[in-house]
Structure 1
Amino acid sequence: MSDVSRRAVVAGGLVLAAMPLVARAGTTGDPVVDAPAGRFQGFQSGSISTFKNIRYASAPRFMAPVAMPRATETVIAQAFGPIAPQRGGSGLQDEACQRLNIWTPGADARAKRPVMVYIHGGAYSNGTVTVPTNHGAKLAETEDVVVVTVNHRLNALGYLYLARMDPRFADSGNLGQLDLIVALQWVRDNIAAFGGDPKRVFVFGQSGGGAKIATMMGMPAAKGLFHSAATMSGQQVTASGPMNAHRRAQAYLAKLGVRENDLGALLELPVGRLIEATDATDPILGGGVYFGPVLDMKWLVRHPFWPDPNPQSNHIPMILGNTRDETRAFVPAESAKVKGLNWDNLAAAMAPELRMDLLPEWIVSEYRAHFPSDTPEQIFYRATTAGRSWPGQVIEADARAAAGAKATWVYQLDYQSPVKPERGAPHTGDIALAFGTLGAEGSITGIGPDAQRLSRQVMGAFAALARTGKPVGKGVPLWPAYTLPKRATMLFDVNSRAVNDPRKWERELFARVPYIQPGS
């Protein structure tokens, strides 16, 4: 079997030969950048020069990435490259997915614009930055910044922990993270040629993307590669313990039919088989096997935010955000579970969605007393949002404040979708606002004046943090830093405003028990 047919997979058909990427030939007048990594020809659209599908690394399967050597010929960088192999998704999927994309107002090394690097969500198993809501042209134009988006290895290919089974795979538990670190090294070494300032690199990511950033804040290899950060509904208080990660690897290999003492077969199997086996049952959590960063004592030698934030990143200014109705993205209002909610079955329906080990019946009783006019549906979404991932964000913000970190700002997206009101302010609702891609496929913000004003505020705050280390920009309401015990929080909404500890009652209710990061 050829290397191409073994490594490539098309979404929706797991073992298919690679298809050629469609890219128009370069034409006279297209922007060309000569950088240390090579000569890249993009395309111009309005005031923005775009460069897509720049390959920043290569890597043998289950091995650490290696930076690409300088390209010997001009690279036509005009169409998105393949995304990481995964369940679902669209377009070409390939193991050689270490690609980045750049939008710049001008490729002049003298410009030294702030650089905003986006890392996608999808936990650690799915996702891509090639979706329309992640396109960087509007953000680059509006805020006069250079935008970079990055794809990297996911799921078993990025986080299967094999180090205790075979020394050849000593880096295997954190390969997705190592891809991102090599991408940031590429940015450091090359972004000046695209008009960016390598000394002002801001990383931002939503959901799993935020968790990847939180993890890198605790990885010595990432030290100095970024200078400010924002995590959007994404946190990593603790990483996967090596013993649990080892048990997950055993479950995955059993599903795959590969013996622990003969991992050579992993290097020969079609990638489609590797992806199919990711539905192995997780021996700790149940459900599909969890993949994520591992405390391997090589690349990750302590937890990112436990027992405190890693001191190596306390000097980095940081924004942490979440949305008011996170779980409306996971459990649709039209689903049978929600449609059939009543006071008798609410606790049972809520229990699988919680990540905090509190008695569901007691939670329902407390919420009913505190919010007496709420319906079962409203309490379901309130409580599952507050008892799912939000406590992790609170822990990180509190930990940074207690440690005297340079500066931390916290937000909550309260803006209710005008086009899908049943979704409220859900998980992912802030992505299009941060990119300005309000009308893109996948956005639920609407394109009216309220959405446009809010998007300018979010873009402005993020770009200001990248530019100056503070989210102070034109049109951005006064946003105090997060300190204890005030816990100032920006409520991004039709009328954005800062409020101290806006969900104090819920925060204190769930603080009765420890937060255990899923996958730890």
Structure 2
Amino acid sequence: MPERGVVQTGSGQVRGVLNNGVWSFKGVPYAASPEGPRRFGAPEPAESWDGVRPATAYGPSVPQRPMRGLVADMFPMNPVQGFDALHLNVWTPDPSAKGLPVLVWIHGGGFRSGSGNDELYDGSAFAGDGVVTVTINYRLGVEGFLYLGDRAPDPAVTGAMGIADQVAALRWVQENISGFGGDPSNVTIAGESAGAMSVATLLAVPSADGLFQRAICQSGGADKVNGIAESSRITTRLLEKLGATGDDLTPLFDASAEDLLVVQDAMAAELASGEFVHLYGVPATLATIAFLPTSGTDLIPEEPLTGLARRSTTVDLLVGENADECSIFLAGVPDDIVASMGRAKLATWLGEGESARILAHLGEALPDSAERDRWIWLESERQFWSPVRRLALTNAARGGRTYKYRFDWASDLHDGLGAHHVIELPFVFGTGSTRQAKAIARNLPENLVHAVRTAWVDFIHGRVPRLPDGVLWPAYTSESQMRVRLAEERISTVPDIDELGLDEAVTLERIS
């Protein structure tokens, strides 16, 4: 008879921990450490072990820099880092159960930071609702998204090794999750910010077909990819900074993780300054993040929205955004600096004439707002609202059941930031009492926590999400574009419109 709390995986046995009725298994390898010849290549199967491996503590996080500004307090960097970080964590109500739905969470962090080990993503509450929950680490920054073309150790995944890691983790789930009580044919993938962008990208990755049935995208669409031309320019700049010449990639392969992080920081500063357009090109500088997944490759053959439109099977999608997404990124920046930076960037993207037209349009659309608030709205529309809307419309148009929301609750912890980026996370995971969540928001209203968690759990179980009064969420369709407004005072269904009317003022694809 198997020992209680011990699960057999394809690499060996792991022993979990029982706490308050939920079993957790932490630091379980899903792929081999991407070192030496595996560096910048496809993930390879985890090495096997003898005996029973304790799965009682999180493994290392991927090498990274701490986040900056207010977000740094909300997402403190895991001090234990290393190449051997392709691990995952599992929470289950009962390893001996059969056929429970599975949630696989992909963390955010701008494709250059973050960890599936964050206490904010503890899966205990989901497990308590009958959902086997998995959080993963994946390669980030240069290590995860450098494009090398035919010079790569594995050209099939070059420019998106981090996405290949996510696919490998999903394959691990297919092969092993039944041992934890989960149903491999009933998998939902979910993520926030760069995690949501990863989920949206996976919708168009051929090798991910059949690995999941539903998807949740929180504050992220399918637009954050570079084409080969943009990625090639970024690679050229990286190699220049490393001192590589010609076809000699030795300085890259010999560089330590710290060396690459130093260069990555320098390139991020160049992108943020807006003074290096001649090196990166306008499409690359729009991202402000150099190392994004590269489309036009074997792994990601075309831009994700195009790939999603061609997909042969449908996927259910729950997607949405927050009402004040970008306020957090401008926290602490003086109003005059916000305004001058915004004007300069808009002129770089669109030219002086078009920029002036957009500024005039914003003034008309938001006549009573401060200029700072106009920039927050513009950036929220550009980076989040518009991509999320396009993703919802694309999935709905091809017949996938689609549900859309806007989260609209503000904590008094960070006065003036409103419903900022990441604020919904403690509601989704039910982790409002954690130290990390308390840096994001305080005094979470219980009715809104219950409403959010009920909707997410319904969706993961394959049901239509419910409103607090039991009424079902409306499906988002091309004809009836309705979203649910998640707010404390009243949860309601409203038309999903572009409040700024920017689609008429400018083609948003030019600045997305």
TM-score, L = length of structure 2: 0.86
Distance 1:317 1:236, change over 3 A: same
Partner of 1:121: 108
Within 5 Å, give how 1:234-253 maps onto structure 2.
Answer: 234-237=220-223, 239-253=225-239
Question: Do the aligned partners of residues 391 and 144 (structure 1) sit closer, same or farther apart at CA in structure 2, a change above 3 Å counting?
Answer: same
1:291 aligned partner: 291
1:74 aligns with 52
Deviation at 1:198, TM superposition (A): 0.9
Percent of aligned positions that are identical: 26
Residue identity matched to 1:463: V
| In the alignment, structure 1 residue 45 sits paired with structure 2 residue 30 | no
| Match of residue 108 from structure 1 | 96
For the 8 Å contact 1:165–1:260, the answer to whether it is kept is no
Shift of 1:421: 2.9
Instruction: Decide which of 345, 369, 376 is 1:352's aligned counterpart.
Output: 345
When residues 512 and 446 of structure 1 are mapped into structure 2, their CA distance, relative to the original with a 3 A threshold, is closer
Post-superposition Cα deviations, 1:455-476, rounded to whole Å, max 9, x if no partner, equal 2222221221121153247766
Q: Is the 8 A contact 2:200 2:304 kept in 1?
A: yes
Q: Secondary structure at the match of 1:388?
A: helix
When residues 303 and 169 of structure 1 are mapped into structure 2, their CA distance, relative to the original with a 3 A threshold, is closer
Paired with 1:377 and 1:246, the residues of 2 have a C-alpha distance of 35
Residue matched to 1:10: none
Q: 1:381 aligns with which of 353, 376, 400?
A: 376
Q: What are the within-5 Å matches in structure 2 for residues 146-295 of structure 1?
A: 146-166=132-152, 169-237=155-223, 239-278=225-264, 279-280=266-267, 281=270, 283-284=280-281, 285-286=284-285, 290-295=290-295
Aligned ranges 1:386-405 → 2 under 5 Å: 386-401=381-396, 403-405=397-399
Q: Is the 8 A contact 1:434 1:455 kept in 2?
A: yes
Return the offset for 1:506: 1.9
Q: Please tell me whether residue 419 in structure 1 is matched to residue 410 in structure 2.
A: no
Structure 2 gaps, min length 5: 67-76, 272-279
Partner Cα distance (2:170, 2:207) in 1: 11
Kept in 2: contact 1:325–1:424 (CA 8 A):
yes
Q: Is the 8 A contact 1:238 1:303 kept in 2?
A: no
8 Å contact from structure 2 (residues 309, 394) kept in 1: no
Conservation of the 8 A alpha-carbon contact between 1:106 and 1:194: yes
Give 3-state SS (helix, strand or coil) of 2:303's partner.
coil
Q: Indicate yes or no: 2:79 matched with 1:91.
A: yes
Q: For residue 316 of structure 1, what is the aligned residue in structure 2?
A: 315
Equivalent residue of 2:216, what SS? strand
Q: Does 1:499 align with 2:490?
A: no
Tell me the amino acid that sits aligned with residue 370 of structure 2: T
Shift of 1:184: 0.5
Query: Per-residue CA shift, 1:45-93, capped at 9, x if unaligned?
Result: 1111111000100131111111224432211111111111112233111
- 1:462–1:71 Cα change, 3 Å: farther
Larger mean Cα displacement after TM superposition, 153-162 or 293-302 = 293-302
Equivalent residue for 2:41?
63
RMSD (Å), alpha carbons = 2.7
In structure 1, stretches of 5+ residues that fail to align are: 1-28
Aligned-pair CA distance for 1:481: 0.8
CA contact 1:237–1:304 (8 Å) conserved in 2: yes
Q: Which amino acid aligns with 1:52?
A: K
* Residue aligned with 2:196, SS: helix
Write out per-residue CA displacement over residues 401-458 of structure 1, whole angstroms, 9 at most, x where no aligned residue: 3x3322111111111113223221001111111101112223256554x622212222
C-alpha spacing 1:223/1:38, structure 2 compared with 1 (3 Å): same
**What amino acid is the match of 1:352?**
K
Question: Which residue number in structure 2 is paired with residue 18 of structure 1?
Answer: none
Corresponding residue number in structure 1 for 2:333: 335
Q: CA deviation at 1:302?
A: 1.4
The 8 Å contact of residues 236 and 305 in structure 1, kept in 2 or not, is answered as yes
- Alignment partners' CA distance in 2, 1:505 and 1:407: 25
Offset from partner CA, 1:167-220 (integer Å, 9 cap, x none): 655522111011110100111111111111111111110000011111111111
Aligned counterpart in structure 2 of residue 140 of structure 1, from 122, 127, 130: 127
Aligned letter for 1:366? H
Structure 2 counterpart of 1:107, one-letter code: P
Q: Is the 8 A contact 1:119 1:149 kept in 2?
A: yes
| Partner SS, residue 311 of structure 2 | helix
Return the alpha-carbon distance in structure 2 between the equivalents of residues 167 and 94 of structure 1: 20
Please identify which structure carries the higher helix content. Answer: 2
Aligned-residue offset at 1:386 = 2.0
User: What amino acid does structure 1 have at the position aligned with 2:431?
Assistant: T
Partner Cα separation in structure 2 for residue 512 and residue 274 of structure 1: 38
Output the CA distance in 2 between the equivalents of 1:113 and 1:276. 44
Change (3 A) 1:243 1:364: closer
Aligned to 1:13: none
User: Among 439, 443, 446, which residue is 2:437 paired with?
Assistant: 443
Q: 1:492 is matched by which residue type in structure 2?
A: L
Q: Check the 8 A contact 2:110/2:289 in 1, yes or no.
A: no
Q: TM-score, normalised by structure 1?
A: 0.85
Offset, 1:502: 4.4
2:303 counterpart residue number: 303
Conserved? CA contact 2:219–2:388, under 8 Å = yes
Instruction: Quickly say closer, same or farther: Cα 1:476–1:228, change in 2 above 3 A.
Output: farther
Would the aligned equivalents of 2:321 and 2:384 in 1 still touch at CA under 8 Å?
A: no
